[in-house]
Amino acid sequence: MIVEDEVLAQDVIRSHMAKIGQLELIGVYRTAPEAMAALESREVDVMFLDIRLPGMSGLHFLRSLADPPLVVLTTAYAEYALESYEFNVIDYLLKPISFERFAKAVNKILDGRLYTSTSATASTDEQAPPPGDHIFIKSNSKFFRVGFSEILYVQGMKDYLKIHTPDFTLVTHQTMNELEKTLPSRLFIRVHRSYLVAVRHIRTIYGNSIELGKVTIPIGINYKESVMELVGKR
């Protein structure tokens, strides 16, 4: 979506988007309230947001959003660049926006979304594991590249997941079922309603527990059989 009150600037962004051809424009809005209404009724991945909008500025609008989409700021004023960093925006484009600079910003987004998780309403075929050896996880409005070999275990927390690695933990708004269908089954096993573990990091299995280094993970009663099958295969 484009949030921009100047018609000329709207046309420039539209033209640049058409040349790239990998983004679908769902709407153009002149004010923050109009954009807010659109965000509440539509699923938006990327927002090109002007800073100086009538009524409410783009930065104030962005600050009001609990879960904003990816944001590329567009403005004629360079002095807002420092302030914009607190919002973790993808990029900061100064007007007049050249196609080369616009394309660079879009490429950051397309690269980051290459292996994002599939929709919960997608069919089984559409939910096949991504190719390669990694996945991109959205956390705090950023996409993090995480190698399959880095993941120790995943912990479910209602509609959120904690993805644990030796060096960091990511919190992402996603369900366990969605992520389980995205990760390759040869590398990961569901051992509990709230836990998914990496097979390569399992140290011991005993009773109703699994040890991953210093971490102990419970084995759910409904998952005990599949865990024992894993032991038998190895």
How do residues 153-165 score in pLDDT, each as one tens digit? 999 887 788 899 8
* DSSP string for 34-67: HHHHHHHHS--SEEEEESS-SSS-HHHHHHH-SS
- Do 178 and 155 share a structural domain? yes
Q: Tell me if 117 is assigned to some domain.
A: no
Given 80, 112, 144, the domain boundary residue is 112
Question: Is the pLDDT confidence value at 92 over 60?
Answer: yes
Given 112, 142, 163, the domain boundary residue is 112
Measured between alpha carbons, how far is 97 from 122 in angstroms, rounded to an integer?
36
State the CATH number of the domain containing residue 154: 2.40.50.1020
- The predicted pLDDT at position 125 comes to 39
**pLDDT band, residue 124 (cuts 50/70/90):** very low
DSSP state of 113: T
State the CATH number of the domain containing residue 44: 3.40.50.2300
- Do 133 and 102 share a structural domain? no
How do residues 34-90 score in pLDDT, each as one tens digit? 999 999 998 888 999 999 999 999 999 998 987 788 889 999 887 776 666 567 677
Q: Tell me if 82 is assigned to some domain.
A: yes
Q: Tell me if 36 is assigned to some domain.
A: yes
Between residues 4 and 139, the one the model is more confident about: 4
- Do 146 and 223 share a structural domain? yes
- Do 161 and 68 share a structural domain? no
What is the number of domains present in the chain?
2
- Do 82 and 38 share a structural domain? yes
- Do 137 and 44 share a structural domain? no
- Do 103 and 13 share a structural domain? yes
Token pair of 191 as six digits: 């051992």
Give the pLDDT mean for 17-33. Answer: 93
Given 84, 112, 140, the domain boundary residue is 112
- The predicted pLDDT at position 121 comes to 33
The H or E element that residue 233 is part of is: helix 224-233
**pLDDT band, residue 120 (cuts 50/70/90):** very low
Q: Tell me if 183 is assigned to some domain.
A: yes
- Do 48 and 140 share a structural domain? no
DSSP state of 217: E
Question: Is the pLDDT confidence value at 119 over 60?
Answer: no
Q: Tell me if 120 is assigned to some domain.
A: no
- The predicted pLDDT at position 116 comes to 35
> What's the pTM value of the predicted model, to 2 decimals?
0.51
**pLDDT band, residue 206 (cuts 50/70/90):** confident
Q: Tell me if 119 is assigned to some domain.
A: no
- Do 172 and 72 share a structural domain? no
Phi/psi zone of residue 169: left (φ > 0), alpha (ψ -120 to 50 degrees), beta? Answer: beta
Measured between alpha carbons, how far is 230 from 234 in angstroms, rounded to an integer?
7
Q: Tell me if 47 is assigned to some domain.
A: yes
- The predicted pLDDT at position 108 comes to 75
- The predicted pLDDT at position 110 comes to 72
For the chain, the average pLDDT equals: 83
- Do 141 and 59 share a structural domain? no
Measured between alpha carbons, how far is 163 from 43 in angstroms, rounded to an integer?
24
User: Cβ of 146: how many Cβ atoms within 10 Å?
Assistant: 18
Measured between alpha carbons, how far is 74 from 102 in angstroms, rounded to an integer?
10
- Do 88 and 49 share a structural domain? yes
- Do 108 and 82 share a structural domain? yes
Phi/psi zone of residue 215: left (φ > 0), alpha (ψ -120 to 50 degrees), beta? Answer: beta
- The predicted pLDDT at position 169 comes to 86
Q: Tell me if 191 is assigned to some domain.
A: yes
Q: Which domain holds residue 170?
A: 125-233
DSSP state of 86: G
Question: Is the pLDDT confidence value at 152 over 90?
Answer: yes
